[in-house]
Amino acid sequence: MWQYQKKLQYPVKIKNPNPKYAQIIISQYGGPDGELGASMRYLTQRYSMPYDDVKGILTDIGTEELAHLEMICAMVHQLTRNLTPEEIKASGFDKYFVDHTAAVYPIAASALPWRAEYIQAKGDIIADLHEDLAAEQKARVTYDNLIRLIDDPDILDPLKFLRQREITHYQRFGESLRRTTDRLNSKNFYACNPSFDKNCGKN
């Protein structure tokens, strides 16, 4: 189960609303490499993981991603507060506003709503950990792109924190992959699937 903690992992305090920035930052909520997909990917993959340490890292990183999703939503919420209809029209936020007003709905910057196709649970530890490593790099690139396009320090500060977390998670997943292959047949990691075949890979 989960219990809510009434705090953000890193503070978000944006002085100046900016609906243009909100429309690109929202991709890290509901976009193809966003935090909603990240948390669902890791928390979903846990059930077919054969090793306790990998169940642990997926649980703990998957939980942290929920905190990142909350930070991104806080940013979008603060960037779209107190807007006038004129500001909404001038910034191009009107197309979002007509469907969601100033609510925070999981879509990509392109407006495509979040899709389960953004994630995979393959039921094979090597395939799943490679998916996770790739996901962290793709999220890191998305943060790099946002940092290039944004010049407000109130927004850049939490974005840089989140970018750094992608690199830390990549490191931890890399270690999990190494710990996994250490337990498999060193001549052929693919000889059997420890997530499915009994007696495959020592724990």
Partner 1 sequence: MNDKQKLFKKILELDFALHELNLFLDTHPDNEKALRLLGDYRSMRKSAVEEYENRFGRLIIMPCDAPTTKPWQWINGPWPWEIGFGGE
For residue 53, give the nearest of 139, 135, 159, 125 by alpha carbon: 125
Under the binding rule (CB under 8 A), the answer on residue 77 touching partner 1 is yes
Is residue 68 exposed (0-12), middle (13-18) or buried (19+ Cβ within 10 Å)? buried
Distance between CA 73 and CA 125 in Å, rounded? 31
Nearest approach in angstroms of CB 147 to partner 1 is 21
Distance between CA 151 and CA 179 in Å, rounded? 41
Contact residue for partner 1 among 1, 4, 151, 199 (CB under 8 A): 4
Nearer to partner 1, 61 or 118 (CB): 61
Which two structure tokens, joined as six digits, stand for 98? 């007509």
Nearest approach in angstroms of CB 117 to partner 1 is 28
Nearer to partner 1, 83 or 118 (CB): 83
Question: Which window, 12-20, 93-101, 133-141, 193-201, contacts partner 1 (CB under 8 A)?
Answer: 12-20
Under the binding rule (CB under 8 A), the answer on residue 74 touching partner 1 is yes
Nearer to partner 1, 14 or 139 (CB): 14
Under the binding rule (CB under 8 A), the answer on residue 2 touching partner 1 is no
Distance between CA 10 and CA 32 in Å, rounded? 23
Nearest approach in angstroms of CB 14 to partner 1 is 8
CB 147 within 8 A of CB 160: yes
